[in-house]
Amino acid sequence: MKATRTHTFIDSPIGPLTSVQTDGALSGLYLAEHRHRPDPATFGLRTDCGFEQIREQLDEYFAGERTEFTVPLTLVGTEFQRSVWAALRAIDYGATCTYAELAVEIGRPTAIRAVAAANGRNPVSIVVPCHRVIGSDGTLTGYAGGLERKRFLLDRESRTVHAPA
């Protein structure tokens, strides 16, 4: 049985996001000018139906009210990529780690470049927080949606975490 894919567009403070679902689970969240973005012809029919949960959770995230996403995910990739994406989901909101630390976390300490490549191929930006990975020297490096968006997301999370109670 062939999977049913649909997509919609969601406005955000970092520009329009393309949200893709496969059989009702989020399988893609792409920023404008997203590097490694699949051919939009593979996104299925455009509809606003069924995207209420991701739209609401993104609104809450950008408002500083949500630190973790709970939408169901379908992540298609190699076993290695999926292990990297699972490790990304374990990075705390407002925190960062390096590609080297992520490689150690998945038990592949010498696979730093492969970890970086898998990070760059993350199909569900923001929800699977690849923006929380930085260079070993603490600099912002590589982000499929551009470094300005990465900086915005990290600043947004930092302000929420460090806001006075």
| Helix (H) / strand (E) containing 5 | strand 5-10
Residue 29 bridge partners (DSSP): 19, 124
Q: What are the angstrom distances between the C-alpha of 165 and each of 33, 59, 93, 161, 162?
A: 37, 21, 17, 10, 9
Q: How many helices (H) and strands (E) does the chain have?
A: 5, 6
**Total domain count for the chain?**
2
**Catalytic one among 84, 88, 130, 133?**
130
* Shared-domain flag, residues 155 and 84: yes
Summarize the confidence of residues 77-92 as an average pLDDT: 96
Classify residue 68: in a domain, yes or no: no
Residue 143 has pLDDT above 80, yes or no: no
> Looking at the domain assignment, is residue 102 inside a domain?
yes
Q: Are residues 49 and 16 in the same domain?
A: yes
The answer to whether position 92 is within a domain reads: yes
Rounded to two decimals, the pTM is 0.90
Distance, in Å, from the CA atom of 40 to the CA atom of 146, rounded to the nearest integer, reads: 19
> Which range of residues forms the domain containing residue 134?
79-161
**Are 89 and 153 within one domain?**
yes
For tokens 């404008």, what's the residue? 32
Inside any domain, residue 14: yes
- Domain match, 51 and 113 both: no
| In the predicted structure, residue 87 carries a pLDDT above the cut 60 | yes
* CATH number, domain with residue 58: 3.30.160
Kindly state whether residue 89 falls inside one of the protein's structural domains: yes
| CA-closest candidate to residue 125, choices 149, 104, 157 | 149
Q: What is the CATH number of the domain that holds 112?
A: 1.10.10.10
What's the mean pLDDT in 152-161? 85
Are 87 and 117 found together in one domain? yes
In 3D space, the residue among 89, 120, 131, 83 whose CA is nearest the CA of residue 104 turns out to be 83
Q: Indicate if 130 belongs to the active site.
A: yes
**Taking 60 as the threshold, does the pLDDT of residue 138 lie above it?**
yes
**pLDDT value of position 97:** 93
In a domain, 69, yes or no: no
Q: Is residue 139 part of a domain?
A: yes
With bands split at pLDDT 50, 70 and 90, how would you rate the model's confidence at 37?
confident
Q: Do 43 and 111 belong together in one domain? A: no
